Structures are given as structure tokens and as C-alpha cells.
Amino acid sequence: MKKSLIVMGALLIMSSIFAVSCGGNSSSSAASADGPTIGVTIYRYDDNFMSFYRRNIESRINGKANLIINDSQNNQAQQNDQVDVMIQKDAKALAINLVDPQAAQTIIDKAKAKNIPVIFFNKQPSAQAMASYDKTWYVGTTPEESGDMQGKIVVDTWKANPTWDRNGDGIIQYVLLKGEPGHPDAEARTSHVTLYITNNGLQVERLEPEQTAMWDTAKAKDIVDAWMQKHGDKIEYIFCNNDAMALGALQSVQALGYNKEGDTTKYIPIVGVDAIPEMINEIKKGTVAGSVLNDPVGQSQALVDITLNAAAGKDPLDGTTWTLDEVKAVRVPYVPITKNNVNVAEEAYK
């Protein structure tokens, strides 16, 4: 009797252990992945380029961590609240696409108080903010490089197409659409495109002060509509800090009969940055001059590698081939894209 009670008791204990361990396994594989909780914010889900970046982050992190990912809806206060919630939910690392590049310190202070690593991406914080916490890193590009490469596309295409100098004065009459003012990419692209052109022996004339279209297609179209009304085909080139705005510029000139596929007589060259699929299509059709590949695959891979390492308390570069510069940044290279090498961009956005 006593013996059988002991056996029964032992069986009960064993079966309950079994149930607990089974339940534990099934719940972790169903709802969330094994692995640490990672908090990611995107400054705005409806930013064209960032939507590709986000998809790449999600697919790379899939199964390796429990991902909390939020749309900050272009509102820094909202992003700060999202970070608070991620910290409450025991995030082991944060990957932050700031709304306002100036807000890095606020986020760093929150994370540092709990000893949580923070990896910024796409909008580079100041060197001072980066230096204030040993567990913060940045994944991005060298913004000046995109302006220089855009300048190179302008120089090469201009030299190859003498009819683009419509007034025959040897000078490129241009207008420029700027991204978000104060964004390191927007500032560097704006200054470097013309710097590269003039350093390479061509002259430029700015027909209008730069205007910001905040990376946005519809805003870009409105601005170019007004510029076209004022200057018409006196505009000999349209430089755009990104492709979403270049596509808006294209809509504007096409509505006036320019840049129709196959017609090179009524043509105002347009150049962008990102090489997103919609722009690749236009490059192939010859309706725009080119773009600069802002590689979402390379950048998201670096971001996920570093974030997972940091979350596990490892060296951020552990098991990777990335390198950090003096401000703890990984910089993924840009690539100039024209009709001749459009396949490079297609590969990156597959």
C-alpha cells in the first residue's frame, strides 16, 4: 500500500514535470521565438525606402528573437514612449531609427539606466551622443559618398548627352529637392552632389534655392510643378536627395509631356538616391538618369547581427565581417546605378 502510494506520487510528479516542459516548449515555438526580446522602432512605416529596410529586418530576425517592432509615425515623443514600453517588456537590446536625429541622447539615457545596448540605424546621432555610452553603436552609410556618387552620375551622363545643355552655355542649370533638413544624409547629399560636379570640371547654376520635400513623392511633385511653371525647360537637371522625391519630380515633368518612354527629345534628366524598385523600373525605361543604391540588405544584415550579439552580451562584431569606425559605426557602401548596371540594384532589392 505504502509502496504503491509512493509509486503513484512519483508518477504524478513525473507527469506534471512532463506537462510543464511540454507546455513550455510549445508556447515558445508557437507565439514567440526562443531567444531574447528585441525592440525595434522605425521612424515612419510609410517612408518608401524604410519599408524595404523594415521587411529585411523582420525576415532576418525571424525565429532568432522575440521582436517588438513599432511605427513611430514621425513623432519623437511617441517613439520615446515606445522605448519605455520595450524596456518594461524586458528588451535585451534596442534598434532605433530615430525620428529626430537630435533625440539620441534621450534614448541613450533611458537604455543606459537599465544597461541595455542601443543600436541606432539610418539616422546617425551626433558623435557626442555616441560617445556617452559604451553600449551604443550605429549602422548606416557614409552619407557624403551618396552625394559624390550622384555627382558622378550627373557628370558622366551630362558628358555623354551634349543635347542636355539646352541653352548651350556649357553650364548645368539645376534645381535640387532636399530630404529632411538636419538629417545627415540630406545635408551631405545636398552639398556633395554639386561639390563633386564642380571638382570634376563642370559648372552648375542653381535656378532656385533648394526646397525640402521631406523624402516624399507627393510633396516633391508639388514643388517641381511650381518650378516647372516658372522655369520650364530652362531646368537642365533635377537633383533629388532620394528616389521617392525623384519619382515625384518625374510625375511632374511627365504631366507636362517630358520624359516619356522612348522620347529623348523632350527630356529633363533626374537623378535620385536609394535605387528602390520603382526607380529601377524608370532607369530601365530611360525616363530618369540614375540613382545610388542605398543597400537595405547589407544594412539590415549588419543591424541584426550587431543587435543580436549585443542582446546576448557578446562583442557586437562577434562572428561577423563588419568593422566599426572611430564613432562605433558600421558603414555599408553605396553603389552608383545607371542603365548599364541596373542588375546590381535589382539583386539588392530582390
For binding to ligand GAL (CB under 6 A), which residues are involved?
47, 49-50, 122-123, 179, 183, 185, 215, 242, 244, 273-274, 294
From Ca ion, ligand GAL, none, interface partner of 347 (C-beta below 5 to 8 A by class): none
Closer residue to ligand GAL, CB minimum distance, 37 or 102: 102
Q: Is 208 in the site for Ca ion (CB under 5 A)?
A: no
Residue in this structure with the C-alpha cell 523582420, named with its chain if needed: 58
Q: Is 171 in the site for Ca ion (CB under 5 A)?
A: yes
Closer residue to ligand GAL, CB minimum distance, 65 or 240: 240
From Ca ion, ligand GAL, none, interface partner of 167 (C-beta below 5 to 8 A by class): Ca ion
From Ca ion, ligand GAL, none, interface partner of 274 (C-beta below 5 to 8 A by class): ligand GAL
Strand partners, 42: 71
Closer residue to ligand GAL, CB minimum distance, 72 or 259: 72
**Exposed (0-12), middle (13-18) or buried (19+): which is 79, by Cβ within 10 Å?**
buried
**Residue 296: closest CA among 240, 350, 239:** 350
Nearby residues of 267 by Cβ (< 8 Å), 6 or more positions away: 164, 258, 259
**Window 115 to 134, contacts with Ca ion (CB under 5 A):** none
Q: Is 26 in the site for Ca ion (CB under 5 A)?
A: no
Residue 234 Cβ, how far from Ca ion at the closest point, in Å? 9
Residue 151 Cβ, how far from Ca ion at the closest point, in Å? 17
Residue 44 Cβ, how far from ligand GAL at the closest point, in Å? 8
Is the distance from CB of 217 to CB of 242 less than 8 angstroms?
no
Closer residue to ligand GAL, CB minimum distance, 179 or 298: 179
Give the distance from CA 46 to its chain's centroid.
12
Residue 172 Cβ, how far from Ca ion at the closest point, in Å? 6
Q: Is 165 in the site for Ca ion (CB under 5 A)?
A: yes
From ligand GAL, Ca ion, none, interface partner of 49 (C-beta below 5 to 8 A by class): ligand GAL
Question: Which range binds Ca ion by CB under 5 A, 4-12, 146-154, 162-170, 188-196?
Answer: 162-170
Closer residue to ligand GAL, CB minimum distance, 185 or 305: 185
182: left (phi over 0), alpha (psi -120 to 50) or beta: left
Residue 169 Cβ, how far from Ca ion at the closest point, in Å? 5
**How many other C-beta atoms lie within 10 A of the C-beta of residue 55?**
12
From Ca ion, ligand GAL, none, interface partner of 250 (C-beta below 5 to 8 A by class): none
